[in-house]
């Protein structure tokens, strides 16, 4: 189920990326496993926590992070989204955060519906801004996925996804 959910996230994020930036991703990769091999450091990101329940009754908590390795990449992404929305280019860090947040709002809506189809009903919390953030080792229990959406020559958006099912019900 969690692999299907990560693939749904990748599918919807890539479609929203294509629509909101006006660029077709040149590569969309989904990988699973540890986030810290190698350790990832990002200059700008947004974290969205969620809680939910699997169809069989187990509770699940988790999060995903949408991150950019450089501020220049985040600003280029934000400028493309601003153009799509018919707004002025994003030059300030605060504006870049807002446009990444808009991207995530659309991705979250589509992902929430898709996850319900896979037997996972979740409630998402508002995004939390991350700056100068490192993705460190997480607790051993749970499932980790990384979705990289690359637009060659422009930028890469990376989404880190973590599920922590409650085995105690």
More confident residue, 42 or 6: 6
- Residue 88: the pLDDT is 76
State mean pLDDT over 46-51.
90
Q: What is the pLDDT of residues 82-105, one digit of tens each?
A: 888 887 775 555 678 788 888 988
79 CB contacts (<8 Å, ≥6 apart)? Answer: 89, 90
- For residue 159, the enclosing domain spans 2-165
Judge contact between 156 and 66, C-beta under 8 A: no
Residue range 6-37, pLDDT digits in tens: 999 999 999 999 999 999 999 999 988 765 54
pLDDT-derived band at 133, boundaries 50, 70, 90: low
Portion of the chain with pLDDT greater than 90, in percent:
30
CATH number at residue 56: 3.40.1550.10
Q: Give the per-residue pLDDT at 122.
A: 94
Length in residues, the chain: 169
pTM of the model: 0.84
Q: What is the pLDDT of residue 169?
A: 44
Report how far residue 27's alpha carbon sits from residue 152's, in angstroms, rounded to the nearest whole number: 8
pLDDT, position 92 = 56
How many Cα atoms within 13 Å fall on the side-chain side of residue 134?
A: 6
Total domain count, the chain: 1
């Amino acid at each position: 189920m969690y692999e299907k959910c990560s693939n749904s996230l990748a599918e919807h994020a890539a479609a929203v990326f294509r629509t909101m930036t006006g660029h077709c991703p040149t590569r969309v990769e989904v990988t699973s496993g540890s986030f810290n091999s190698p350790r990832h450091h990002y200059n700008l990101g947004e974290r969205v926590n969620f809680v939910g329940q699997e169809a069989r009754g187990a509770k699940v908590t988790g999060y995903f992070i949408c991150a950019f390795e450089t501020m220049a990449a985040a600003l280029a992404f934000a400028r493309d989204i601003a153009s799509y929305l018919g707004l002025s280019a994003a030059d300030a860090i605060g504006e870049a955060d807002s446009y990444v947040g808009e991207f995530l709002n659309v991705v979250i809506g589509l992902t929430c519906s898709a996850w319900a189809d896979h037997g996972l009903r979740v409630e998402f919390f508002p995004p939390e801004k991350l700056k100068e953030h490192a993705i460190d080792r997480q607790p051993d229990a749970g499932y980790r996925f990384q979705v990289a959406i690359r637009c060659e020559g422009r930028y890469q958006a990376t989404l880190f996804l973590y599920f922590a099912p409650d085995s105690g019900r």
